[in-house]
Structure 1
């Protein structure tokens, strides 16, 4: 009898190429977890895991289902859905036109995209199907596809939760600094792309001070963003353990306060979240930006006869 194969599930099912795990996706349009905090209910993610290594990323638990850990493995063992474009085109043929988020399971313009170039095909497929969609990213690689995104009517949401570089280096070690992301917003706006800022995640007791919020919103407005969508840090299973382990080392006096603030699902106390998002909303109005989730353009789906499927 052959010895049991005790390798992680992903290593048994994927092809390891250039440091990435290549897989063939069974489905591309997936439900967004309720704890995500974004407006869309459905998402397309060509990559799982993310080299930005953001400690508070809410997608970390997905790596557990692959036999990997939600911490270091999520940051370094990136899964690529090599058939993403063809699979998505097939699913869009049955899609009713509901808005989609792109890049929830991992930044869709992280370094893996420079190798695999899946996003041009995904953007073209979504544009051809007239499906409203928002691309979530922190990466300057999105500029490569600026013209394509503009033609497809995409919205791009650049994540900028704070402008303090000390915090960024601690909790987003693999991502661009805040200033570079602000410049990215300006470049996208100049290229004719509808660009907004996802002010996420606001970190309780670390980046939620009134002066910190004001400085962040002021600089976002100066970059030319038209809207800001604030999201307070979520700590779903997987993310919670990884983030709190870091917090216990860096800010041990805050751990107990976090445990009091968050429920079992990883959601912050409603009163706290309402206060923070209310403050950000007021600041946005002061600086002439619209607060809150995106308002997708009203477009008829390419396949309206399937809208009830």
Structure 2
């Protein structure tokens, strides 16, 4: 079995498959493309036809949602702390640079979702998106999978939520408005900090924090309530009181319905990549991180509680809710529900099935 390496130009010979790829997909299962354009230079897309698209979250995860849809694997946001890096190893792909530049695209995601929602076995449960990798990363600008996904959810009046760092969500504003007329729609934007220097070094492929807060403003102006997941709060780099205050103030000024803090966690895959980055950029902090995260992937409970308390106090000061979000349903009083959060509190899920039918 192998990935197929097919060029974007008809008639160009396919490159030979690498040994790791042979173990994963059939010859006709994957089309691999590269594009020599500024926005995608250095990025390789592996186009696959998935067998399923709606994934069940393990019950032990304690997530406020049970079902997710992830049209992409890997993410060009290239966040050095991304908890989802480990999932690339399921495909025998590199969890470092490979995670940032080898993007798996489930090209049949919209049609799969429409068929799934039409099944008599489906009971219309809430579907969360953007909880593994960002569904509005740069690849979405080319592949345009989300409009079909949103249309399927709208047509079935199926409730859903989206978590994103991408400004591309505004392209689909009208679809979000239409969906919000018939079902519960929740949107959260991830903004862990507003520090420009920190943003450029740890989130090099993302829109700037102020651009993400513009998304919050625009959605609010069109009647779609939007919360902010303040994630991650990075110990010793983004947790000073003045940094937390500046971020919560900016979130409040953008009109967010809520702000929910989340402290950096370092799951296997992300841990090695982040600590390598830390050693290059802030070597003096490495011993402090090794002590703080000696117990595993999470910062000590006392530290997480301290950050949560500080952010909640600031949220109250600036007049926004600390831990809930409105559904953004137009014409209705917003129902207070937990903000969508990443699946990093869940145990690592099994690899998704990406082979052909």
Q: What band does the TM-score fall into relative to the shorter chain? A: 0.7 to 0.9
Cα offset for 1:147? 1.4
Q: Secondary structure at the match of 1:291?
A: coil
8 A contact 1:59–1:106 mirrored in 2: yes
RMSD, aligned α-carbons: 2.5
Offset of residue 263 of structure 1: 5.5
Counterpart pick for 1:132 among 119, 143, 159: 159
| Corresponding residue of 1:44 | 69
Query: Structure 1 segments of 4 or more deviating over 6 A?
Result: 33-38
Structure 2 vs 1, CA of residues 89 and 5 (structure 1 numbering), >3 Å: closer, same or farther? same
* Equivalent of residue 261 in structure 2, options 230, 247, 254: 230
CA distance in 2, matches of 1:243, 1:76: 17
1:102–1:133 Cα contact (<8 Å) kept? yes
Matched with 1:17 is 33
CA distance in 1, matches of 2:303, 2:245: 17
Cα offset for 1:22? 0.7
Compute the TM-score of the two structures, normalised by the length of structure 2: 0.76
* TM-score normalised by length of structure 1: 0.88
Q: Compute the displacement of 1:35 (Å).
A: 11
Superimposed CA distance per residue, residues 71-117 of structure 1 (whole angstroms, 9 cap, x where no aligned partner): 10110111101111121223333333332221223211112111111
What is the alpha-carbon distance in structure 1 between the residues aligned to residue 157 and residue 103 of structure 2?
30
Q: Does 1:7 align with 2:13?
A: no
Shift in alpha-carbon separation, 1:130–1:263, aligned structure 2, 3 A: farther
Q: What corresponds to 1:303 in structure 2?
A: none
* Number of residue pairs the alignment of both structures matches: 296
> What are the within-5 Å matches in structure 2 for residues 227-266 of structure 1?
227-262=258-293, 265-266=296-297
- The aligned residue for residue 174 of structure 2 is 147
My pick for the range that moved more, 160-169 or 120-129, is 120-129
Q: Secondary structure at the match of 1:163?
A: coil
Q: Specify whether residues 193 and 96 from structure 1 end up closer, same or farther in structure 2 by C-alpha distance, changes over 3 A only.
A: same
Q: What displacement does 1:295 show?
A: 5.7
Relative distance call for 1:266 and 1:72 in structure 2 (3 A) is: same
Q: 1:191 to 1:287 in 2, by over 3 A?
A: same
Mapping for residues 56-71 of structure 1, pairs under 5 Å: 56-71=81-96
Unaligned stretches of 5+ in structure 1?
A: 299-309
Give the unaligned 5+ runs of structure 2. 1-16, 35-43, 328-333, 336-357
Match of 2:330 in 1: none
Asked if the contact 1:35–1:234 (Cα under 8 Å) also holds between the matched residues in 2, the reply is no
* Matched residue, 1:304: none
Q: Which has the larger radius of gyration?
A: 2
Aligned residue for 2:226? Answer: 195
